[in-house]
Chains A and B, each alone.
Chain A
Amino acid sequence: MTAQLDLDSRIARYATAAFDDDTSVMDAGLESLSLLRLAVEVAADDDAEIDATRMAGVRTIGELKQWLGDLAVHAGGDAA
Chain B
Amino acid sequence: MTAVDIPAADLRDGEPETVLAITESQRGLLVVDSMVSARQIYNQTMRFDLDPARCAVPLDAACVTRVLTALVAVQPALRQVFTLRPQVSARLLPVPGAAELPLRVHTVPGADYDGVLAQVGAEIGRAPFDLATGPVFRCAAVLAEDGRAASILLCAHHIVGDGLSMVPIMRDLATLLDGTLDPADTDALLALDASRTKGLVKELAAQHRAAGAEATAQKADAWAERLRMVPPLVLYPRPNRPQQTDFRGDRVSFTVDGALAERFTAACKRAGVSPFVLLTGVYSAVLARHGGVDKVLIGSPFAARRTIASFDLCGFFVNTLPITAEVDWARTVDEHLAAVRGEIDFCRASVDVPFTQLVSRVQPERTNDRNPLFSAMLAMQNTADNADGGPVAEVHEPANGTAKFDLWLGATPTRHGWLLELEYDRALIPARVAHDLLVSLRTALRRAITDGDLRLADLFDHASAAPSLRHDGRPATPAAPTITEWFEQTAERHPDRIAVSDPDGELTYRELAEQAGRLATGLAERGIGPGDVVGMRLDGLHDVVPTILAVLRRGAAYLPLETGLPVERLAGMVARAGCRLAVGEPIEGVPVPAVPLADLSGDARIAPSQARPDAGVYVLFTSGSTGRPKGVLMGQRSLLNLAAWQQGALDMSTDTRFLQFAPAGFDVSFQEIVPVLLGGGTVVSRRPADRRDMPAVLRRVADTAVTHVFLPAAALRSFVQCAARQRVHLPALRYLCVSGEQLLTDDEIRAFFVEHPQCELVNLYGPTEAQAVTTHRLHGDDPVWPTHVPIGTAMPGVATYVVDQTGHLAPYGVAGDLFIGGIAPAEGYINDPERTAAAFLPDHFGGNGVMYRTGDQVVRDEHDVLTYLGRGDTQVKIRGHRVELGELEAVANAVPGVRASVAVVRGDAQTRELVLFVVAEPDAELDTDGLRAVCARRLPPHMLPARIFDLDAVPLSATGKTDRKALTALADQLVAEQLTAPAPAAAAPADDLTAELCALWAKVLSVPVVDPDTPVMQYGGHSLVIVQVLGEVQQRYQVTVQVIDFLRAPTVATLAALIREATR
Chain A interfacial positions (CB closer than 8 Å to B): 24, 26-27, 31-33, 36-37, 39-40, 43, 45-53, 55-57, 75
A76–B768 Cα distance when bound, in Å, is: 80
Check B269 against A27 for contact (C-beta < 8 Å).
yes
Do the beta carbons of B349 and A57 come within 8 Å of each other?
Answer: yes
Binary contact readout B344-387 vs A (1 if CB under 8 angstroms, 0 otherwise): 01001111100000000000000000000000000000110000
**Known contacts A32-B303, A39-B308, A47-B202; A53/B272 CB under 8 A:** no
Contact call A48/B308, Cβ cutoff below 8 A: yes
Cα distance A51–B350 when bound, in Å?
A: 11
Chain B interface size, under 10 / 10 to 19 / 20 to 34 / 35 or more = 20 to 34
Contact: A56 with B272, CB < 8 Å?
A: no
Please, how many angstroms separate the alpha-carbon atoms of A46 and B352 in the complex? 20
In contact, B351 and A52 (Cβ under 8 angstroms): yes
Within 8 Å by CB of A46, from B276, B309, B383, lies B309
B351 adjacent to A43 (CB under 8 Å)? no
Say yes or no for B1012: interface residue by CB 8 A criterion: no
Contact A46 B348 (CB under 8 A): no
| A52-B352 contact in complex given A26-B274, A32-B303, C-beta closer than 8 Å | yes
Report the separation of the CA atoms of residues A40 and B304 in the bound assembly, to the nearest whole angstrom. 14
Determine the residue in chain A with the shortest Cβ distance to B319: A52
Q: Is B886 an interface residue (CB 8 A)?
A: no
Chain A residue numbers with a CB within 8 Å of B382 are: 31, 33
Cross-chain contact of B348 among A27, A40, A45, A56 (Cβ < 8 A): A56
Contact across chains for B350 and A40 when beta carbons are under 8 A apart = no
The answer to whether B311 and A56 have CB atoms under 8 Å apart is: no
Closest to A44 in B: B308
In the complex, the chain A residue whose C-beta lies closest to that of B209 is: A49
Q: Are A53 and B351 in contact (CB under 8 A)?
A: yes
**A40 near B308 (CB under 8 angstroms)?**
yes
Q: In the complex the two chains form, what is the Cα distance from A31 to B202 in whole Å?
A: 26
The answer to whether A75 touches B352 (Cβ under 8 A) is no
A23 to B206 CA separation, bound complex (whole angstroms): 32
Partner of A47, one of B275, B303, B309: B309
Contacts of B352 in A (CB 8 A): 52-53
Q: Taking the nearest CB of chain A, how far is it from the CB of B226, in angstroms?
A: 17
CB nearest neighbor in A for B345: A56
Q: Which residues of A contact B275 (CB under 8 A)?
A: 31
Contacts of A40 in B (CB 8 A): 308, 311
Instruction: Give Cα distance in the complex from A45 to B310, angstroms.
Output: 12
- Check A52 against B306 for contact (C-beta < 8 Å): yes
Q: Which 7 A-B pairs have the closest CB atoms?
A: A56-B348, A46-B309, A56-B349, A40-B311, A43-B308, A48-B308, A49-B306
When the two chains form their complex, are residues B272 and A27 in contact, meaning their CB atoms are under 8 A apart?
yes
Mark B268-309 against chain A: 1 for CB-CB distance below 8 A, else 0. 110011111000000000000000000000000011111111
14 contacts between A and B (CB under 8 A): A26-B268, A26-B274, A33-B303, A36-B305, A37-B311, A40-B308, A43-B308, A48-B308, A49-B206, A49-B307, A49-B308, A53-B349, A53-B352, A55-B348
* A75 adjacent to B308 (CB under 8 Å): yes
- Chain B residues contacting A50 (CB-CB under 8 Å) are 305-308
Known interface pairs A26-B274, A27-B269; A46-B351 also in contact (CB < 8 Å): no
- Please tell me if B121 contacts chain A, counting CB pairs below 8 Å: no
Measured CB to CB, the nearest residue on chain A to B306 is A49
Contact B383 A33 (CB under 8 A): yes
Note all chain A residues with C-beta closer than 8 A to B309. Answer: 46-47
Q: Which residue of B lies closest to A50 (CB)?
A: B306
- Known contacts: A55-B348, A56-B349, A57-B349. The answer to whether A47 contacts B273 by CB under 8 A is no
Question: B residues 301-359 with Cβ under 8 Å of A?
Answer: 302-309, 311, 345, 348-352
Q: Shortest distance in angstroms between B347's beta carbon and chain A's nearest beta carbon?
A: 8
Please, which residues of chain B bring their CB within 8 A of the CB of A49? Answer: 206, 306-308
A24, B274: Cα distance in complex, Å: 12
B199 is an interface residue with CB less than 8 A from chain A: yes
Known: A49-B206, A53-B350. A36 touches B306 (CB 8 A): no
Q: Tell me, in angstroms, the Cα distance from A27 to B271 when the chains sit together.
A: 10
**Residues of chain B lying within 8 A (CB to CB) of residue A48:** 307-308
Considering only residues 881-925 of chain B, those with a C-beta below 8 Å from chain A are none
A31 to B451, CA, bound (A): 23
Q: State in angstroms the CA–CA spacing of A26 and B311 once bound together.
A: 23
Write the chain A residue with the least CB distance to B273.
A26
Q: How far is the CA of A24 from the CA of B269 in the complex (A)?
A: 11
Q: Which residues of B contact A37 (CB under 8 A)?
A: 311
Report the Cα distance A43→B206, complex, angstroms: 16
In the complex, chain B residues whose CB is within 8 Å of the CB of A33: 303, 382-383
Contact of B272 among A26, A39, A47, A55 (CB under 8 A): A26
B256-276 vs A: 1/0 string, CB under 8 Å?
000000000000110011111
* Sample of 19 further A-B pairs with CB below 8 A, known A40-B311, A53-B350: A26-B273, A27-B269, A31-B276, A31-B382, A32-B303, A33-B303, A33-B382, A33-B383, A43-B308, A45-B308, A46-B307, A47-B202, A47-B308, A48-B307, A49-B307, A50-B307, A52-B348, A52-B352, A53-B348
Please report the C-alpha to C-alpha distance between residue A12 and residue B975 in the assembled complex, in whole angstroms. 70
- The interface residues of chain B lying within 8 Å CB-to-CB of A55 are 348
Q: Which residues of A contact B199 (CB under 8 A)?
A: 46
Compute how far the CA of A46 lies from the CA of B302 in the bound complex, rounded to whole angstroms: 21
Contacts of B269 in A (CB 8 A): 27
Interface contact A36-B304, CB-CB below 8 Å: no
CB distance from B194 to the nearest CB of A (A): 13
Q: What is the 8 Å Cβ interface bit string for chain B, positions 644-662, against chain A (1 contact, 0 not)? A: 0000000000000000000
Within 8 Å CB of B345, what residues of A? 56
Closest to B277 in A: A26
For B307, give its contact among A26, A47, A57 (CB under 8 Å). A47
| Bound Cα distance from A36 to B350, whole angstroms | 16
| Cα A62 to Cα B1059 with chains together (Å) | 63
Q: Which of A40, A45, A75 has the most CB of B within 10 A?
A: A40
CA A43 to CA B273, docked complex, whole Å: 27
Q: How far is the CB of B65 from chain A (nearest CB, A)?
A: 30
Query: Least Cβ distance of B212 to chain A in Å?
Result: 15
The reply to whether B272 and A52 contact each other, CB–CB distance below 8 Å, is no
A46–B382 CA distance with the chains assembled, in angstroms: 24
A26 CB, min distance to chain B CBs, angstroms: 5
Q: Which residues of B contact A75 (CB under 8 A)?
A: 308
Cα–Cα, bound, A43→B309 (Å): 10
In the complex, what residues of A have CB within 8 A of residue B306's CB?
Answer: 49-52
* Distance in angstroms between the alpha carbons of A75 and B307 in the assembled complex: 10
Residues of B within 8 A of A51 (CB): 306
CA of A40 to CA of B383, assembled, Å: 14
Q: In the docked arrangement, what's the CA distance between A40 and B303, Å?
A: 13
Contacts of B304 in A (CB 8 A): 52
A49 nearest CB neighbor, chain B only: B306
The distance in angstroms between the C-alpha atoms of A42 and B350, with both chains bound, is 24
Q: Which residues of A contact B308 (CB under 8 A)?
A: 39-40, 43, 45-50, 75
Decide if A24 touches B272 in the complex (CB within 8 Å). Answer: yes
A31 touches B349 (CB 8 A): no
Chain A residues whose C-beta falls within 8 Å of the C-beta of B206 in the assembled complex: 49
Q: B936 CB to closest chain A CB, in angstroms? A: 43
Complex Cα gap A37–B311 (Å): 9
Q: Hey, which chain A residues are within 8 Å of B273, CB to CB?
A: 26
Tell me the smallest distance from the CB of A27 to a CB of chain B, in Å.
7
- Report the minimum CB–CB distance from A14 to chain B (whole Å): 11
The smallest C-beta distance from B163 to any residue of chain A, in angstroms, reads 10
- Chain B residue numbers with a CB within 8 Å of A36 are 303, 305, 311
Residues of A near B276 (CB, < 8 A) are 31-32
Cβ contacts under 8 Å, A43 to chain B: 308
Identity of the chain B residue whose Cβ is nearest the Cβ of A55 in the assembled complex: B348
Q: Cβ of A27: which chain B residues have Cβ within 8 Å of it?
A: 269, 272
Cβ of B383: which chain A residues have Cβ within 8 Å of it?
33
Cα–Cα, bound, A57→B311 (Å)? 21
> What's the Cα separation between A57 and B349 when bound, in Å?
7
Shortest distance in angstroms between A60's beta carbon and chain B's nearest beta carbon?
12
A39 CA to B309 CA in the complex, in Å?
11
Give Cα A8 to B199, complex, Å: 29
